[in-house]
Amino acid sequence: MTTTSSPNISPAGLATPGTTGGRPFLLSKAEWYAIQVYVTDALALPITDEAFKKSLGAGAPADLKDFVELIDCYKAINTHCNTWKKTTYPASVDLASDIVSYNLKVPTYYGAIQKEADILTEDPDNAQAQKALKAILDNLSKSAQDKADRAGAVYKQVAEFATQTEADKATLLGPDGKSGLVKKYNEKYGTTSKEVQDLTKQIADEQAIVKKATDEYNYDVTVAATTPTYAWLIPEGLIAAAVVAGVYGHRATAALDTIHAAQAKIDKMNAQLAADANLLIAIHNAEIGMTRITQDLAQALPVIQKIQGIWGALHADLQNIVSLIDQDIRQALPIIMNLGIEEAIVAWKNVATEANDYRTNAYISIDGNSTAPVQAVAEPAEATA
């Protein structure tokens, strides 16, 4: 708060997601699902010689020296995605939990601000009311600073994952998006057979249709197509069920059926050609996932920065009011009475509803016998800071 601005105890810019037609909290559920699906796929990539051979099938070469670069790339992707899964993503969910837990305090604490301010309006020298008011503001200010610090840490973590993913993408596709390991292995193994070329292209095309369906259905549909990434996880090279968040659209379902049929043809090829095809499909699938999530992460970063800024501003404004009370309670009272407490309570409730919806849908897990997402997030305890 400066001499030319008024303090703000509302969620400010974050109130927009809580209004009808406003953008979702951070990103839409489908956008977060897309990132999680990429991470799930990436963590299934083979990072040992044995797993890599198994992914290629019976036609895998005995000597993998030609694939050292690719396996090393997969290892880097695995490390980055493990950190995201275990640390960064849960921390982003905590940002939503911070808003939900703060909102639990708002009606009581903001109401108490109004109560003590009313007392002081009648009796500005009431020491007990001054002490109570300062204690409330100090409590909320500390809580806001703690949350600002956490948001800053999450911003750094998400930014680091975005940078790492861009680097992984450059390794696969090259800085120009047309070279890298994809070009190297496509030229060496994708030209061994026209049938391999046709089937891998067909699968890539259908994967693109699945992605387009996600956009067309306004992100109500998020589908990770079945890919050979999962092929070595179950017996006889069968492909695991698709990872699904939301409801299939007709075109997405048809695309998946085509992918199944193409993979079935690959499984019937001779061992060497099947290995070539499985290699290329896995690489292209990683490429598709990276391209999508680098865009989504880029959208998330400024919103996380905004969260940090709002908590920081809230902390500063509350501390300035406390300082003003110490200097001159009579000067502080008009400012306190103009805080718009009732409106702020409603705004926090709205944005907390959106944040809680994000938390509730934050995690999906894959059941081997089902394609339905599993949702499970515990309610937060009311925080004291």
pLDDT digits (tens, 9 = 90+) for 305-357: 888 888 899 999 999 999 999 999 998 999 999 999 999 999 999 888 888 87
Is 382 a domain residue? Answer: no
Q: What is the pLDDT of residue 369?
A: 33
Asked if 256 and 225 touch (Cβ cutoff 8 Å), the reply is yes
Neighbouring CB atoms inside 10 A of 329's CB total 17
- What range does the domain containing 142 cover? 12-192+294-360
Q: What is the pLDDT of residue 110?
A: 95
**Mean local confidence (pLDDT), 135-164:** 94
90: three-class secondary structure by DSSP: helix
Q: What is the pLDDT of residue 182?
A: 82
Asked if 285 and 67 touch (Cβ cutoff 8 Å), the reply is no
Q: What is the mean pLDDT of the chain?
A: 74
Is 135 a domain residue? Answer: yes
**Mean local confidence (pLDDT), 147-176:** 91
Rounded CA-CA distance 139/142 in Å is 5
Q: What is the pLDDT of residue 363?
A: 66
Residue found under tokens 């839409």: 28
Least confident piece of the model among 53-67, 170-184, 254-268: 254-268
Is 379 a domain residue? Answer: no
Q: What is the pLDDT of residue 379?
A: 37
CB-based contacts of 4, cutoff 8 Å, min separation 6 = none
373 residue type, one letter: P
The structural domain count of the chain equals: 1
| The CA-based dihedral angle spanning residues 195, 201, 206, 207, taken in that order and rounded to the nearest 10 degrees | 130
Is 38 a domain residue? Answer: yes
Q: Give 172's pLDDT tier (boundaries 50, 70, 90).
A: confident
Is 384 a domain residue? Answer: no
Is 161 a domain residue? Answer: yes
Percent of the chain with pLDDT over 90: 31
Q: Give 175's pLDDT tier (boundaries 50, 70, 90).
A: confident
pLDDT at 148 over 60: yes
**Mean local confidence (pLDDT), 261-273:** 65
pLDDT at 48 over 70: yes
Q: Tell me the Ramachandran region of residue 269: left when phi exceeds 0, alpha when psi lies from -120 to 50, beta otherwise.
A: beta
CB-based contacts of 242, cutoff 8 Å, min separation 6 = 223, 224, 225, 226, 256, 371
Is 204 a domain residue? Answer: no
The model's pTM is 0.71
Q: What is the pLDDT of residue 212?
A: 56
The listed range with the strongest mean pLDDT (8-22, 51-65, 120-134, 369-383) is 120-134
203 residue type, one letter: I
Is 173 a domain residue? Answer: yes
pLDDT at 282 over 50: yes
Residue 110, class by beta-carbon neighbours within 10 Å (0-12 exposed, 13-18 middle, 19+ buried)?
Answer: buried
| The CA-based dihedral angle spanning residues 90, 85, 155, 5, taken in that order and rounded to the nearest 10 degrees | -30
